[in-house]
Amino acid sequence: MNAKLRSTLDGLIYIKQSIIMNIKRPNALDGAKVLGKPVVINVNHISFLSHDLEGKVTFFLANGFEISMNVYFDDAERVFNFAKAGVEFEI
């Protein structure tokens, strides 16, 4: 996968592993670990897109996970909106 972020017709967002700064579930004992594969998220599970306490662009998921990324906010917002609309797009 050459794109940093990609939306699909099915409303999925692919996040390239190399731009992920952190995946965590703040209220859980164990964090999550990513091993080289893209992370796939269903756009309907994203509660909102914002910045975390450290200022990183972050998808906040309905299940409590936070996925912080090294990407511009505008790019993440554009991919999020295209995924919601069911349009293929990549950055």
* pLDDT tens digit at each of 91 positions of the chain: 689 999 999 999 999 999 999 998 876 655 455 556 788 899 999 999 999 999 999 999 998 899 999 999 999 999 999 999 999 999 9
The pLDDT value recorded for residue 26 is 73
The pLDDT value recorded for residue 27 is 64
Pairing of strands 89-90, 12-15: unpaired
The pLDDT value recorded for residue 37 is 76
The pLDDT value recorded for residue 11 is 96
**Residue 20 token pair:** 């992920």
Alpha helices (H) in 1-91, listed in sequence order: 73-85
The pLDDT value recorded for residue 59 is 96
65-89: burial string, b at 16+ Cβ within 10 Å, e else: bbbbbebeeeebeebbebbeeeeeb
Distance, in Å, from the CA atom of 5 to the CA atom of 80, rounded to the nearest integer, reads 9
